Chain A
Amino acid sequence: MAGTKSALVLCMDVGFSMSNSAPGEEPPFELAKKVIQKFVQRQVFAENKDELALVLFGTDSTKNPLDRDGQYQNITVHRHLMIPDFELLEEIENQVHPESQQADWMDALVVCMDLLQTETKGKKFDRLNVALLTDLSTQANQDHLDVIIENLKQAGITLQFFLPFPAEDDEEGGGDSDRRGPGHPGTGKGLSREQKESLDLVKHVMLSLDEEDGLDQVYTFRDAIEQLCMFKRIERRPMAWPCQLTIGSCLSIRIVGYKAVTEERLKKMWVTVDAQSNQKEDVKRETVYCLDDDNETEVKKDDTIQGFRYGSDIVPFSKVDQDQMKYKHDGKCFAVLGFTKQNLVRRHQFMGSQVVKMFAPKDDEHAGVALSALIRALDELQMVAIVRYAYDRRSNPQVGAAFPCVKQDYECLMYVQLPFMEDLRQFTFPSLENNKKLSPSDTQLSAVDSLIDSMMLVQKDDDDADQKDIFKVHHIPNPAFQRHFQCLHHRAVNPGTPLPPMEPWLKAALERPDVISERCQAPLEEIKRKFPLIEVEKKKKLKTSAQIFGKDAEEPDAKKAKGDEEEDYNLADIAEGSVTSVGSVDPARDFRTLIKLKSLPFGEVCQQLTHRIEQLLSNKNTHYYMKSITCIQAFREQSVKLGNADLYNSYLQSLKRSIPNRRLEVFWDLLVQDAITLISKDEVEGSTVSKNEANQFLVVEEKKEEAAVPSAEDTGDVDDLLDMM
């Protein structure tokens, strides 16, 4: 399946009428260019093998293979079929401009078809598609219409139109994604005669290619930017999973499963590079194992074995034994355990991260009939099949439900994983309704009622039973991807400049629709009046590290107190002279001892201590944070004592700078709570820091913290069974 790829021709009108626009509106040319940029951007980052060509029409010059005897004029093949790259992106940015001619879009379509036919020769493509972006302002030559349609059909070329205005008036819900309501570009102007005629032609062509849903592939520019229309057409189809649905051992039906819904993730990971050279080869990550003793003695990986926890026991369990003893099964399977009422399978108990649709194999109509009988039986009885599902021998079997799905043009079973007993957490929560103190009054309830009225996202049309949904989440492209690609694109083309702000349309797409915002103003005010909401003042939300860790660190109290007390040295220790460097067990104490002994220069002892602090902080564990804080406290206290503030202050400042990068916000908060500031002039004369600065040192960081960032790198989906191939 790895060989599947598509060929697509972007065919864009750059003629003079494309620059026309009503005041305050973006000209169609700019919108169309954005559509193309967005699309090419995604293709470049997707790194698949799809090939792309760019044909412009309405150009001042003519450059195409069909240019002969004054035919096919003002049409330019800007780029031949090839894998899109950054160069193409830059060309679109810098070389595609509005021009001053007009060309027949039907001619342009023929050029595209010709290009597809000649340039795909000898290569295998699964899908051929032409996307035409135009305002349809030129009269099209209809002479060879039938031949063209016939050719499109024969070559298996699909068509998409992108227009500045909707192809249909709202009556049929064709513009249903026009969620911003009034102000749709182009709709205000009224169409010219040419545009109307051309539009009829477009409809004719599209309906000849696909009687039922042809018009679904006619989009507005606005839709195209906000949705993924173009991608959907050429998208790679998910992998087939052939199997047999079995009911007992006597009845089986051949089926093929396709992953239909799953959380898509970015394919490429970030790699770590050296900040200076930008080379990943300069950076090496290494994991070492060490014993949990005072010296953190390192052991070789080969000297370790695998074990598991069984409650309080740790059981050595080698990989070999584990494989031998582990649960084994017969592999691929889709076996019915029984049937149950649909309402017993609760929506919120769906598990896993995907929905798999099961069809009959393409070439097996008997299986089709058998499966159809099952689907329809379940549908009519409002039941589902509970099944055992195993993707293959290596993957864990699941229990799940197969829902019947009967659509106008196809039928299938939809498989969703259900929980195992081990997955469930049976929580009970205090009753809300039976609690007199909490129950809302009638006036409160009616305020909520009018809020719901004003915020319904689905509107009933008067003349039609059809409902119009003005906020379809599944039409919004994942904003994280959009933003990701936008930033990558920017950095690739403009290295060295800061990242751009988020695109306004993307921001807007995530907001409440304007219509709703307006309508709900008054009801919201009412809610505000009727429901007093008072933020509870926390006596002291954050506690000092000692308070938190005293409880968490699971250390006996006595031991914990030790580090805090100032003069808590064990004389015996000193007399023995056992402390020669700052160790890892109790670095703060060692540090104090060494300073007292004066056996090493102050600077060196400090260096040893900061080295230990860095070690501790690399552990990202609350227990270690606590230990680092006692170290810093000791550092500060001894620095003040010796009247040497510089080392301490500069260390703390550099530590602060590194907080966001190292994701040590939690640790920093604790430091703030403990009010461990810089050493000011007031404390040590030589300090260059004023008292105010010293205090400010902690305050500033609190604001900054917002921008700082722990977050997850995308990792592969463990459950992503279908991708395991």
Chain B
Amino acid sequence: MAEWNAYYQNEDEDEEQEEGEQSGDYKVTGRDSLVFLVDASKEMFIKGEDGEPSNFDMTMQVVRSVYTSKIISSHRDLVALVFYGTEQSKNPRNSFKYVYVYHDLDEPGAKRVQEVDALRGEKGARLAAETMGSGETSLGDALWCCANLYSDIKLRLSHKRLMIFTCRDEPHRGDSAKDRQARTKASDLKETGVIIDLMHLMKPGGFDVAPFFRDIVSQPEDESELGLHLEPCDKLEDLQKRVRAKEQKKRAMARLNLCLGEGINVAVGIYATAVTARKPAAIRLYRETNEPVRSKTRTFHMQTGSLLLPSEIKKAQTYGKKQIVMERDEVDSIKKFQDPGLYLIGFKPMEKLKTHHHIRPAVFLYPEEGEVKGSACLFSALLMKCSERNVFALCRCVSRRNYPPRFVALVPQREEVDEGKVQFTPPGFNVIYLPYADDLRTLDPPQCPSASQIQVDKMKEIVSKLRFKYRSEAFENPVIQQHYRNLEALALDMMAPEDTEDLIMPKVDQINHRLGPLAEEFKDLVYPAGYNPESKSVAKRKTAIVGGVAEKKPKAEVPEDELRAHVQNGTLGKLTVPVLKEACKQFGVRTTGTKKQELIDF
């Protein structure tokens, strides 16, 4: 199954854009699912010192952020929210006491986000007390109930995860029968492929995983130190990080062989760890019913009106007067150089990797022991040695069938864990795509005088005043955030969308304040009196506008016979866009395009 997907993933997008290579969206594997099983006992509602939020409040914030991030990044995943240790019960057949299914497994939507919001803060705690209350605890029943949620789903689930949020390390207070029942249920769940994680929260006296929860949670994949011996979370940020790390299922974009030489193939998976998130494409709805419509594209013959089979079409490009025609499979075969795979060329010291040699986001390489046994060992040895010797591996890379080769640098990355033993940098190679000669443009840098050391030192003071610790996850994309706030507002009939803070806006006042007199001092050092970098260009632009309007837009017209000559010679490409547009008007052709090719094609 996995094999199949790796090979045929993105078949649809494939046709549309090469960027599909970067995207990690998988439609074929089935849905991911995630159940939040949250302790609703009284202990969870105890507020921290200094008005710190309660564990329950913290959990709800995390649940909400997972909901909204799922909506943005993977809306087809299923999420459920279940409380245990409640007074009230609410579950499908109402067969379990003290278990409250707040949301069953489904795609998250606007309403659910709102409902989770309602449980946040002071008000939320009151609402929780009213609707659910806190009662006895039977984790076994809760797990059983969750098992039913999974089995009620008729869809294919590819990845099943259950996260327990609690601050009680002995939920049944030593009731061994209940403990046993919970263990049995947990192992049943694990049997059916559900991975159980514990998100244990701070409690006075410390959280001891050993007596009970050790047998409940799933063993970490690698049987190493990771996973179990975590410190309990006491900070929202940590909890969020921990949940995020677990919540996203990693999937390989492709599985390839890294070939070192004849017969030495290391199986590796390629993972996209950073993919440009875009506003999703709009979908078309039928005006009457608001139901989505499907689009079908057909190719047919203009004269006969019959649908054209693929064998009845060819591909062509025209240069000058010459039309060059190829079969469709020829067009594809031109792009084929080698079969997919990574092929080692050699090694280079790290300083040979230039910062400016950047053409696309990097991807990540990790061994696939399941494909070729021994891969992990050789991979690990390569990783250790490359890292130790500060070299990168240069490879030729064909990422998919009929893709022309690109060269990549495999940059070693050793594993790094934080104090809580949570991995924040995974071990593996980062794959940096390198530019070809065509990708580097020739520039003519202007000759400018360099700054003196005094000027440089003054700037250093400015730089030091504005230092901060960059974290890549610190900046939200204001465009996407606004888009989703708008949708949220429309979906929930809100009066106005929630405000978004534009995090990539410079905090001008703060900066000015921090710099104080430094800005003026620097300007005195580098700019002569009366020099204003802003006004200068503004003034320039103004004159351009004043003088430009009349002459800059000459009537873009070409005599008809000249135009015909161009058409006959196939040299329309030499005309400018406005001229072409005008010509289209002249001949009564309606255009909306602004691209030259489109206009010529008419």
B303 (CB) vs chain A CBs: closest residue? A282
In the bound complex, residues from chain B placing their C-beta under 8 Å from that of A572 are none
In the bound complex, residues from chain B placing their C-beta under 8 Å from that of A469 are 348, 352
| Residue A377 CB within 8 A of the other chain | yes
Say whether B294 contacts A290, CB under 8 Å: yes
Q: Among B389, B448, B450, B475, which residue has the most Cβ atoms of chain A within 10 A?
A: B448
A445-467 interface bits toward B, Cβ cutoff 8 Å, 1 = contact, 0 = none: 10111011001111000000001
| Residue B560 CB within 8 A of the other chain | no
Complex CA–CA separation, A349 to B107 (angstroms): 30
Say whether A471 contacts B394, CB under 8 Å: yes
Say whether B317 contacts A271, CB under 8 Å: yes
| Residue A354 CB within 8 A of the other chain | yes
Task: List A residues 360-394 near B (Cβ within 8 Å).
Answer: 360-362, 364-374, 376-378, 380-381, 383, 386, 388
Say whether B250 contacts A304, CB under 8 Å: no
Say whether A307 contacts B290, CB under 8 Å: yes
Closest 7 CB pairs of A and B: A368-B448, A430-B222, A480-B404, A248-B511, A709-B332, A410-B445, A348-B430
Contacts A419-B472, A516-B345, A543-B1 given; does A478 touch B486 at CB 8 Å: no
B541 (CB) vs chain A CBs: closest residue? A242
| Residue B236 CB within 8 A of the other chain | no
Q: Among B384, B475, B512, which residue has the most Cβ atoms of chain A within 10 A?
A: B475
A-B contact pairs, 20 of them (CB 8 A): A227-B437, A262-B359, A264-B438, A270-B331, A282-B301, A313-B487, A369-B455, A370-B451, A423-B276, A427-B273, A444-B378, A474-B436, A510-B337, A510-B405, A516-B346, A524-B261, A552-B156, A711-B335, A711-B403, A712-B15
B404 (CB) vs chain A CBs: closest residue? A480
Say whether A251 contacts B490, CB under 8 Å: no
Complex CA–CA separation, A9 to B298 (angstroms): 49
| Residue A658 CB within 8 A of the other chain | yes
**Contact of A357 (CB < 8 Å), options: B3, B443, B533:** B443
| Residue A51 CB within 8 A of the other chain | no
Separation in Å of the B319 CB from the closest CB of chain A? 6
| Residue B292 CB within 8 A of the other chain | yes
Say whether B537 contacts A242, CB under 8 Å: yes
Task: List B residues 376-406 near A (Cβ within 8 Å).
Answer: 376-386, 389, 391, 394, 396, 400-405
**Contact of A47 (CB < 8 Å), options: B319, B333, B463, B466:** B319
B111 (CB) vs chain A CBs: closest residue? A313
**Contact of B372 (CB < 8 Å), options: A344, A361, A488, A534:** A534
| Residue A533 CB within 8 A of the other chain | yes
B474 (CB) vs chain A CBs: closest residue? A421
Judged by DSSP, the binding face of B is mixed
In the bound complex, residues from chain A placing their C-beta under 8 Å from that of B457 are 377
In the bound complex, residues from chain B placing their C-beta under 8 Å from that of A536 are 370-373
| Residue A299 CB within 8 A of the other chain | yes
Task: List B residues 71-128 near A (Cβ within 8 Å).
Answer: 71-73, 75, 106-113
New contact pairs (8) apart from A352-B361, A396-B479, A439-B377, CB-CB < 8 Å = A250-B520, A350-B361, A370-B526, A448-B381, A473-B394, A473-B434, A488-B324, A552-B30
B576 (CB) vs chain A CBs: closest residue? A2
Task: List A residues 280-310 near B (Cβ within 8 Å).
Answer: 280-292, 296, 299, 301, 303-310
Task: List B residues 467-504 near A (Cβ within 8 Å).
Answer: 467-484, 486-488, 490-491, 497, 500, 502, 504
Separation in Å of the B277 CB from the closest CB of chain A? 4
In the bound complex, residues from chain A placing their C-beta under 8 Å from that of B592 are none
A293 (CB) vs chain B CBs: closest residue? B291
A554 (CB) vs chain B CBs: closest residue? B155
Q: Please, how many residues of chain B have a CB less than 8 angstroms from a CB on the other chain?
A: 253
Complex CA–CA separation, A220 to B284 (angstroms): 58
| Residue A424 CB within 8 A of the other chain | yes
Judged by DSSP, the binding face of A is mixed
| Residue B589 CB within 8 A of the other chain | no
| Residue A351 CB within 8 A of the other chain | yes
Contacts A429-B427, A476-B437 given; does A349 touch B443 at CB 8 Å: no
Contacts A291-B291, A422-B73 given; does A351 touch B324 at CB 8 Å: no
Complex CA–CA separation, A435 to B376 (angstroms): 10
Say whether B366 contacts A429, CB under 8 Å: yes
Say whether B106 contacts A312, CB under 8 Å: yes
| Residue A325 CB within 8 A of the other chain | yes
A351 (CB) vs chain B CBs: closest residue? B361
A708-725 interface bits toward B, Cβ cutoff 8 Å, 1 = contact, 0 = none: 111111110011000000
| Residue B226 CB within 8 A of the other chain | yes
In the bound complex, residues from chain B placing their C-beta under 8 Å from that of A481 are 438
Separation in Å of the B278 CB from the closest CB of chain A? 8
| Residue B549 CB within 8 A of the other chain | no
Complex CA–CA separation, A260 to B444 (angstroms): 11
Complex CA–CA separation, A692 to B208 (angstroms): 68
Say whether B459 contacts A314, CB under 8 Å: no
A429 (CB) vs chain B CBs: closest residue? B426
| Residue B286 CB within 8 A of the other chain | yes
| Residue A209 CB within 8 A of the other chain | no
| Residue A272 CB within 8 A of the other chain | yes
Say whether A309 contacts B283, CB under 8 Å: yes
In the bound complex, residues from chain A placing their C-beta under 8 Å from that of B470 are 338, 340-341, 344-345, 386
In the bound complex, residues from chain B placing their C-beta under 8 Å from that of A658 are 309-311
Separation in Å of the A497 CB from the closest CB of chain B? 12
A413-446 interface bits toward B, Cβ cutoff 8 Å, 1 = contact, 0 = none: 0101011111111111111111100111000110
Q: Please, how many residues of chain A have a CB less than 8 angstroms from a CB on the other chain?
A: 233
Say whether B451 contacts A376, CB under 8 Å: yes
In the bound complex, residues from chain A placing their C-beta under 8 Å from that of B344 are 455, 512
Say whether A715 contacts B17, CB under 8 Å: yes
Complex CA–CA separation, A258 to B356 (angstroms): 13
Separation in Å of the A406 CB from the closest CB of chain B? 9
Separation in Å of the A266 CB from the closest CB of chain B? 9
**Contact of A365 (CB < 8 Å), options: B4, B448, B500:** B448
In the bound complex, residues from chain A placing their C-beta under 8 Å from that of B545 are none
Say whether B301 contacts A412, CB under 8 Å: no
In the bound complex, residues from chain B placing their C-beta under 8 Å from that of A513 are 345-346
Comparing A164-172, A181-189, A232-240, A577-585, the segment that makes contact with chain B is A232-240
**Contact of B329 (CB < 8 Å), options: A286, A488, A660:** A660
In the bound complex, residues from chain B placing their C-beta under 8 Å from that of A422 are 69, 72-73, 277, 476-477, 480
A395-419 interface bits toward B, Cβ cutoff 8 Å, 1 = contact, 0 = none: 0111100010100011110101011
Contacts A473-B436, A711-B402 given; does A554 touch B156 at CB 8 Å: yes
Complex CA–CA separation, A421 to B484 (angstroms): 15
Say whether A397 contacts B435, CB under 8 Å: no
| Residue A140 CB within 8 A of the other chain | no
In the bound complex, residues from chain A placing their C-beta under 8 Å from that of B135 are none
Say whether A431 contacts B528, CB under 8 Å: no
Separation in Å of the B212 CB from the closest CB of chain A? 25
**Contact of B274 (CB < 8 Å), options: A326, A425, A534:** A425
In the bound complex, residues from chain B placing their C-beta under 8 Å from that of A718 are 19, 278
**Contact of B475 (CB < 8 Å), options: A47, A399, A439:** A399
| Residue A268 CB within 8 A of the other chain | yes
Say whether A309 contacts B435, CB under 8 Å: no
Separation in Å of the A623 CB from the closest CB of chain B? 10
Contacts A491-B326, A524-B262 given; does A534 touch B512 at CB 8 Å: no
Say whether B483 contacts A512, CB under 8 Å: no
Separation in Å of the B601 CB from the closest CB of chain A? 7
Say whether B449 contacts A368, CB under 8 Å: yes
Separation in Å of the A559 CB from the closest CB of chain B? 10
Separation in Å of the A183 CB from the closest CB of chain B? 20
Task: List B residues 1-31 near A (Cβ within 8 Å).
Answer: 1, 3-4, 8, 11-12, 14-20, 24, 28-30
Q: Among B282, B383, B531, which residue has the most Cβ atoms of chain A within 10 A?
A: B282
Say whether B515 contacts A492, CB under 8 Å: no
In the bound complex, residues from chain B placing their C-beta under 8 Å from that of A246 are 506
Say whether A425 contacts B3, CB under 8 Å: no
Separation in Å of the B246 CB from the closest CB of chain A? 8
A298-342 interface bits toward B, Cβ cutoff 8 Å, 1 = contact, 0 = none: 010101111111111111110000100111010000011111110
Complex CA–CA separation, A374 to B15 (angstroms): 45
